[in-house]
Structure 1
Amino acid sequence: MPPPEIDHRVVKDILAMELPRARGRRLALVHARYAPWAPARFSIQVDDVSRSVEVRDEQSVLGIVDAWHAHRHQDGDGILVVTTGAPDGALGWDLLGHAIGRRTLTVEPDEIVKHRFGARELDPRVRRPWLLDALLAAEPAGGWPRSGVVLTRDAAVRAVLAERVGIDSDALDAGSLLDWSQTRTGPARFTELPADQQDGLRSWLEETVGGVAAVLLALVARGRAEEAMAVGLVASVLDQPQLPAEAALAVGGLLGNLAVRPDQRRDFVAAIEGTLERWAAAAENGGAAGDAARLRLLDVVERADALASGAGLTEQLADNRFLPSSLRARLRAVAAILSAEPDETAIVTAAGALTRLRDHRLARLYPQHCAAAEMAVRLLRWLATPAAPITSVAGGVDEHLRTGGWVERALTAVWAGEPEVDTVVARGYAEVYDAAQARRQREDEEFAAVLASWAAHATAAAPGGALLIEQVLDEIAVPLLAVGPPLVVVVDGMSAAVAVELGQQLVGRPWVEVSREPGRRAAAVATIPSVTRASRASLLTGRLCTADQKGEADGFRAFWQRHRRRAVLVHKARIAGAAGRRLADDLVEALAGDVVVGVVLNTVDDALDHGREGDRTSWRPEDITYLPELLDAARSYGRPVVLVADHGHVLERSAGSDAPTPADGVESARWRTGEPGPGEVALRGPRVLCGDGAVVVPWRSDIRYTKRRSGYHGGASPAEMTAPVLTLLPSADNLPLGWTPLAPEATEPDWWNGRPAEAGVVVAPPPRRPARTPQRPHPQMEGLFDAPEPVPVSIGTRVVDSDVYSAQRRFVRKPPDKAVVAALIDSLLAADGTLSATAVAMRVGRAGRDPAALVATLQRLLNVEGYPVLSMDGSGLVRLDGDLLRLQFGLDER
């Protein structure tokens, strides 16, 4: 055999094995060729002594003799290693007599491998030439780690995979193999290996990982690593029943006509989908790792979409949960239903289409694609509800806060649509928007007529059942003195739509919303016209008036002086603190004291003026400048908070000219003097604080008298005349007399989340009747009558009647009544397993108790063996896992 090529590492291994029995000899003859790139001189440690080594490659006997004679006359104990292909018979005994072992040493790869791993034995399967060669070539600079007594095949192959192709062998599975396929260098390093090493590694990976490795590495070997996952995702179409033959041929072409078994392909597809799921979950978590996972995911699915389009398979893959094209198809399916008559059939169909859209794995990565669709379906559900007649101003503003604000939220999102241009989706959104807007305009016109009649005689003494804007401090803020000095935050221009969204996000984190009327937020009626100078001044002074900021501050102090309290009102210019302080020192000092504090925040009103509200489809507490800091300070000092608007607003949604509506007597964007025209109403009376007690205001939202802005106020629509009031407490432990916690479910209309009306209603459970002992009928009566239908027993009742529940109950001090817990379980199941902690507390009849403590008690009753049957997240939502409940309590669904 021709001599093998070796390098200095093999030389060191040979010397390490041979020098202990060298008996002082300094010549080593090795049957090999020395790699030209390897160093000719180096040193080794022998018995803790460093010895120099010189390596010469000499293929002739004369060259060997000359090299040895030159070396033996050198001083020291250095070693000469000569690599040669000359046979022992040609060397002569005089030369061999000086050589270690008195012979030419041969290179035994298995012995070298054994030595390098520090093993005494090798698994026989390691002795295969391809694996020995790979181990010798792949050794890292620091050497192989010690393997123990026996070097196994698995350990050897894993070592090669890690060093030669970059596959993490410590966590090797189908997912990690797919991750590796998307790296820049890993697949390229695999294809650079000798063919026998590729085959050996592929065979081992197929045994270890399964069919995924067979398909993936076949594609990698063909230089298609980058698109391997995309190809596999498209190949999922082959599992569809009755697939057209041309589609199957197209997939075969994408696979490059690989000889892949169906089970291997299915394993490959399943592994790809599992990996994409994992990447999507990481992307949702955010951060640098999440961003990287998002890019990998989108690269694969977009490649797959392009391959599917090129192969004519887009339509067949419409049910795929990962492709952007299938997300678009599901979005179009929702939009197609929006033009239907809003009857029960359309609602059910829309709900199913929306569920399929939400189930798409990209939906959570592109929430903007689903937000408008969800809002459009909500509008469809609202359109299916009967319109309640507006018979009073009090009823109109109350209904606007309870329902109209949610409608406005949905309208805003649907008007904005989604980022990508899709005419089919846009047409569906436009149709449901126009239908909802037409109904809103009919309601606005009806409200304007009632408002004109009411305004003519409405006073604080005779408000017609309405809460007037100047009565908010007296009716809402003053009773909170029993809890502590309140913080009154005026969010100038906060509409009902903004208020209900802020309320959703504030409650339970960690605020508790409370109300004077069970299940209802307070809604005040703004002044006429609904402008800041009149409505905000009346709110802050507690009397009907107009005033500037100084008048508001003076009036605020005077109001609280009448209640024997000191007070301070802070406007926009005095809120900000110095460097390093978010809030001004005097404001923080006031919040820490016992004075009543009022703060005016202008973020919403400024957004209307400066064009930002028009593009905004949602409001969060952090979007209101200084609101989070004020709320944190209030909570720290145990203050109740009144979050109140002085008026609402309407948004600019005109797609036409920027020119204002022509009119005479224009005083502001939404009020003027003179005679009313179409879409307008004349208002006169004691609550009209401008225009000498008589103004003309529009009730249509698309009328404005001044230049275009993002939104306006001053008109007669419910959106402008309604001033929402949110009352927040740091905890429910100290409720004012007669007040109750306000569960989030009570503030959401039933159509908003599509749940049954009874799911969110808080009622006491009916008393349980004692079970009757069945009586055996008289023999002569048997068979005369059919047996009565059995009365179904609810899941909740079956849980609390179970032996498991009885055992759990023994470990809970003062547990709630069994009938109450049964009703709570049934309520949670009816609400798709989710209720707010406040609603749970009200269900159990402990509304004034800390919801977190109550939920902890219920968890001790229901979380058998620590399994999370009942849980509560950071937002204050309580979740019941119905399947786990049935399993843990041994309920038979029959």
Structure 2
Amino acid sequence: METPELLRKLVEMAGGPAAQGYVLALDGDGLESVPQRVQTSQATYEVCRPRTELELRRMVWKSSGAPFIAILPPDLARSLPADLLHRARRRRVHALDIQDVLSVVLGVPVVGTDDRAVQRLALDHLEALRAQISQRTHPTVIDRQLLDELLLDVCFGSGERLRARSPGALLAEWVEHPPDWDESVRELVRRNLPRLHATEGRILAWALASSERLRALVVRGVLLAIDGEVPEAVWGELEALQKDQQVGVPPDVLRGVLSRIAVEAIEELKDDAKKYLTEAETIGRRHLSKDARSRSTILPLGLANRCEDVAQRVARGEPVPSSEITWMREHRAAGLMRNEISLLEEMARFSRYLATPDAEEAGPELAGRIRSYQKSGAFADMSAARLRRALASTAQFHEQAEKALVAYQERRNRDNLAFAKTLARGYVEALHKTEGVVPLHRLWTDVALRRPKDEGLFLVVLDGCSYPAFVEIVEELAQLGEPLGLRAPERDSATGLLALSLLPTITSHARGAIFLGEIPKDPLAAESVWREEGERSTDPARFKQNKVLGNRTRKLFLKGDLAEGPGPLLRALQDTSIEIVAAVFNAIDDQIGSANTGAQLQVKPDQISGFIPSLQAALAHGRSILVVADHGHTPFWNKALRVGAGSTPRFCELGPKEAAPDGFVEVNVEELGGSSGRKAFAWRMGAYQGSPQVGFHGGVGLEEMVVPLAWLVRDGVRAGEPSWWFGPTHASAAEMKVRPAEPLAKATAPTRQQKKAAPAPPAAKPIQTDLYDRRPSIEALAVDADRLLGLPADVMEGLEPDERAVLTLLARHGSARMSEVARVLGKPAARVGGWMAKLHRKLHDVGAPCFSTDRLPNGEQQYTFVPPERRRNA
């Protein structure tokens, strides 16, 4: 780079421009490449580089007094004769300091740069430095810090690469590609890292000394990120960092900083991190306990150990809080064990379900048992189905899952037996005199016809759809572009959703009650016969004979009518002259009747031909949609539950002195069961007669008798999950004590003379905010808020009543969804998010945040309560 400014600087140092005389200058930094002449205000100076005294004298003689600049090598400058020196300008050899060179070239005074390495680095990048300054606001002076910044910019293309990137990102880059910088560049980076990244910068500067140190930061830092105490051996190469006085990071701070950098680096490395994690796991196996390794949120081994620990806890009967699953899903290696985590999620739900009181503690009334099943038992059945599907996608934790399933079956069988005994004490009376319970033959009088007569009706019959299968269908409908859901019940009709099928729970009998409007007296028909012949003739005939419907126009569509597409059904829904349109969808019943017992039942709405289009058409043409099932079903578990031969899997007729089979109970249905004589019905889940198939029905199990009965509307709600479904977020075995399992004795028909068990003292009923509860008052929700929330008195005084109510709701149940909060507040769900965010800011401003916000897999927000002890530890 030719720099005439340096030559002009030499002329100024020699007294300024003149018309004659020569200037002697010492060759050095910055003068390696200069122009052959330089123009000044007085004259043009020629530039020469004499190597000997003789060459210099010849130049002086040839110039004849004309001005020139002679740049001398150091050995010639030191040995010049006095006469040559005396005739030169200012009678001396002039030398430029590096700071002078930098100041001249950059056009700005440079101060405080005595470090030779920095000076040399600056001289090597003079042109780039000048370009950088031209792009900035022109500084008045360049000090050491500004010069470092400029050098970082020119050495790395952009200094933002060091400034803006996180320490972890820098470590990830350097550990994968160790820097091969010149020593001056390396020292420049090490010197500036503490200024750019504070404590992390000091640690990175220390590690830049070698590639081994960089690797140790990642490998050892991952282990140090594990919560709790770790042995000194885990520090390994980083022990030198603890003792390095230049780094000067206090021991109580160092581990946290190292952990943060290492975790950031692992995240940046993505797939390339595997080799470092493997090395860390090897060290961890040598120096860390299994419990310590299972606390790692980075190591795949830590996740595997944690998963195994949770599986063992479930197998032992311990309730596992949902925070364990959240921890797993947030683990860096969660993608490697996605199927296993899904399995453990259902197992953890089982553990929390089993820790809740048995349904019989809700009271002996039939309605109480049905509601308990709708709110809890049905969700346990749904979780069991999901767990069995999850078992098909992984080879791990099968033994523990089987233990959980056995405990679940025992619990549900206790519920089923208690329910069966309730019906056995008086089936006909229970069916007709239990307030709020709707038997299928009364759905018209109690539900369907309680609406304006001129409002069209679409009755959807889901053949064989159990209550848990219905809940899954509603969840899927909520994900549609135009979401559908359940209409929340009014205060005076909340119990209208308690619906019961009829014994025996078979299609010919139960569906006949729906369309006839009364209990059929016809002989019972086997399922196989009914599917082949019965429904095509009997169902339409019964629908026409329905006396409750009077002269209302009606039309029924069966499986055969929908075989070639939903066109006729859609046209009927558009026809306003047809007051009632009914359609039977057989997708579920067809599956459970299959002998393919290796397949787990799963039905999605978009897999049921014509189902979604018909719902959309009904809503588009102003029809109300009422969904019902004729019966539910119990799934096949194993062949060990087969109790004998027979063409009816879940019920049988008994001889005069014949005892009911194992898992069956005798129920006197009087003349309401299709034929006279003694009958026994299966209450044990999965018990069957005859040949195995995917599912069975005909018995008295809750999963067969409790059927869905609900209105579908636009933007409706989902069936609210029980408190154990997503939470409590944190729980201990002491907080959720598991009840000891009771032996399942062979059921016998109870008599009226049997002594009733003494009722248990009533427990305080937690306030639920789901589909089936009436909306509680704000005052009722806020009861005992001071004790539950654990907030300071001044904070409590600043809360509005509705704010106290919502926080108390979260404290009681551990968590609540946005839709549940909306119902408590009486606000549209769309406004709850902003309201809760405002409440969170309000609590944060006073230093008392007590809930967190998460997003569920379905996109809905969930608010989780943070107990006081966790707030103190945070």
Instruction: Please state if 1:653 is matched with 2:624.
Output: no
Q: Tell me: CA distance 1:864–1:125, structure 2 relative to 1, closer, same or farther (3 Å).
A: same
Name the structure 1 match of 2:21: none
CA–CA separation in structure 1 for the residues paired with 2:4 and 2:564: 78
Name the structure 2 match of 1:203: 191
- Report the Cα offset of residue 320 of structure 1: 3.9
1:642 to 612, 626, 645: 626
1:233 to 222, 236, 239: 222
1:309 to 285, 291, 294: 285
Q: Tell me: CA distance 1:380–1:300, structure 2 relative to 1, closer, same or farther (3 Å).
A: farther
1:548 to 524, 528, 535: 535
Q: Percent identity?
A: 14
Q: Tell me: CA distance 1:561–1:512, structure 2 relative to 1, closer, same or farther (3 Å).
A: closer
Q: Tell me: CA distance 1:852–1:158, structure 2 relative to 1, closer, same or farther (3 Å).
A: same
| 8 Å Cα contact 2:485-2:715 kept in structure 1 | yes
Name the structure 2 match of 1:178: 168
Q: Secondary structure at the match of 1:148?
A: coil
- Report the Cα offset of residue 408 of structure 1: 2.0
CA–CA separation in structure 2 for the residues paired with 1:426 and 1:329: 16
Q: Which amino acid aligns with 1:727?
A: W
Matches within 5 A, 1:52-451: 93=59, 120-122=108-110, 124-125=112-113, 129-130=117-118, 133=121, 136=124, 146-150=135-139, 169=160, 172=163, 176-183=166-173, 186-187=174-175, 190-216=178-204, 218-219=206-207, 222-224=210-212, 225=214, 228-236=217-225, 247-253=231-237, 260=244, 263=249, 269-271=255-257, 273-274=259-260, 295=271, 304-312=280-288, 314-338=290-314, 355=323, 358-359=326-327, 362=330, 365=334, 367-368=341-342, 370-382=344-356, 384-385=357-358, 387-388=360-361, 396-412=369-385, 429-448=401-420
| 8 Å Cα contact 1:622-1:628 kept in structure 2 | yes
TM-score, normalised with respect to structure 1: 0.62
CA–CA separation in structure 1 for the residues paired with 2:551 and 2:61: 118
Instruction: Please state if 1:526 is matched with 2:501.
Output: yes
Q: Secondary structure at the match of 1:666?
A: coil
Q: Secondary structure at the match of 1:263?
A: coil
CA–CA separation in structure 1 for the residues paired with 2:182 and 2:67: 34
Q: Tell me: CA distance 1:201–1:878, structure 2 relative to 1, closer, same or farther (3 Å).
A: closer
Matches within 5 A, 1:44-55: none
CA–CA separation in structure 1 for the residues paired with 2:293 and 2:670: 65
Q: Tell me: CA distance 1:258–1:385, structure 2 relative to 1, closer, same or farther (3 Å).
A: same
Q: Tell me: CA distance 1:313–1:218, structure 2 relative to 1, closer, same or farther (3 Å).
A: farther
1:514 to 488, 495, 508: 488
Q: Tell me: CA distance 1:315–1:857, structure 2 relative to 1, closer, same or farther (3 Å).
A: closer
CA–CA separation in structure 2 for the residues paired with 1:604 and 1:628: 15
Matches within 5 A, 1:724-873: 724-730=708-714, 748=722, 753-754=727-728, 757-760=765-768, 762-764=775-777, 823=805, 826-832=808-814, 834=816, 837=819, 841=823, 850=828, 852=830
- Report the Cα offset of residue 616 of structure 1: 6.6
- Report the Cα offset of residue 87 of structure 1: 8.1
- Report the Cα offset of residue 512 of structure 1: 5.7
| 8 Å Cα contact 1:18-1:100 kept in structure 2 | no
- Report the Cα offset of residue 680 of structure 1: 3.8
CA–CA separation in structure 2 for the residues paired with 1:687 and 1:337: 47
| 8 Å Cα contact 2:465-2:631 kept in structure 1 | yes
CA–CA separation in structure 2 for the residues paired with 1:327 and 1:166: 41
| 8 Å Cα contact 1:671-1:698 kept in structure 2 | yes
Q: Tell me: CA distance 1:832–1:465, structure 2 relative to 1, closer, same or farther (3 Å).
A: closer
Name the structure 2 match of 1:478: 449
Name the structure 1 match of 2:759: none
Q: Which amino acid aligns with 1:148?
A: T
| 8 Å Cα contact 2:216-2:238 kept in structure 1 | no
Q: Tell me: CA distance 1:262–1:796, structure 2 relative to 1, closer, same or farther (3 Å).
A: closer
CA–CA separation in structure 1 for the residues paired with 2:104 and 2:455: 80
CA–CA separation in structure 1 for the residues paired with 2:61 and 2:507: 111
- Report the Cα offset of residue 719 of structure 1: 1.2
CA–CA separation in structure 2 for the residues paired with 1:608 and 1:138: 82
Q: Secondary structure at the match of 2:351?
A: helix
CA–CA separation in structure 2 for the residues paired with 1:438 and 1:263: 58
CA–CA separation in structure 2 for the residues paired with 1:119 and 1:602: 88
CA–CA separation in structure 2 for the residues paired with 1:717 and 1:265: 63
CA–CA separation in structure 2 for the residues paired with 1:531 and 1:841: 38
Q: Deviations over 1:134-166 (max 9, x none)?
A: 895799999757233236766665666577668
Q: Secondary structure at the match of 2:166?
A: helix
| 8 Å Cα contact 1:469-1:524 kept in structure 2 | yes
Q: Which amino acid aligns with 1:699?
A: W
| 8 Å Cα contact 1:796-1:823 kept in structure 2 | no
- Report the Cα offset of residue 375 of structure 1: 1.1
Name the structure 2 match of 1:666: 647
Instruction: Please state if 1:498 is matched with 2:469.
Output: yes
Point out the more displaced range, 269-278 or 869-878.
869-878
- Report the Cα offset of residue 405 of structure 1: 0.8
Instruction: Please state if 1:587 is matched with 2:570.
Output: yes
Q: Tell me: CA distance 1:686–1:335, structure 2 relative to 1, closer, same or farther (3 Å).
A: same
Between the two structures, name the one with larger relative contact order (CA 8 Å, sep ≥ 6). 2
Q: Secondary structure at the match of 1:376?
A: helix
Q: Secondary structure at the match of 2:412?
A: helix
CA–CA separation in structure 2 for the residues paired with 1:568 and 1:134: 90
CA–CA separation in structure 2 for the residues paired with 1:88 and 1:369: 93
Q: Tell me: CA distance 1:394–1:21, structure 2 relative to 1, closer, same or farther (3 Å).
A: same
Name the structure 2 match of 1:71: none
Q: Which amino acid aligns with 2:352?
A: R
Matches within 5 A, 1:592-741: 598=582, 600-601=584-585, 604-605=588-589, 608=592, 640-654=624-638, 661=642, 663-666=644-647, 670=650, 677-680=661-664, 687-688=672-673, 698-705=682-689, 709-730=693-714
- Report the Cα offset of residue 205 of structure 1: 0.8
CA–CA separation in structure 2 for the residues paired with 1:447 and 1:164: 80
For structure 1, the residue ranges without an aligned partner over 5 or more in a row are 1-9, 23-29, 34-55, 58-63, 69-81, 284-291, 578-582, 733-741, 769-790, 806-817, 888-894
Name the structure 2 match of 1:78: none
CA–CA separation in structure 2 for the residues paired with 1:863 and 1:548: 61
For structure 2, the residue ranges without an aligned partner over 5 or more in a row are 12-25, 37-46, 73-94, 521-529, 730-763, 770-774
CA–CA separation in structure 2 for the residues paired with 1:85 and 1:532: 116
CA–CA separation in structure 1 for the residues paired with 2:408 and 2:832: 41
Name the structure 1 match of 2:90: none
- Report the Cα offset of residue 687 of structure 1: 4.9
Q: Which amino acid aligns with 1:748?
A: P
Q: Which amino acid aligns with 2:448?
A: A
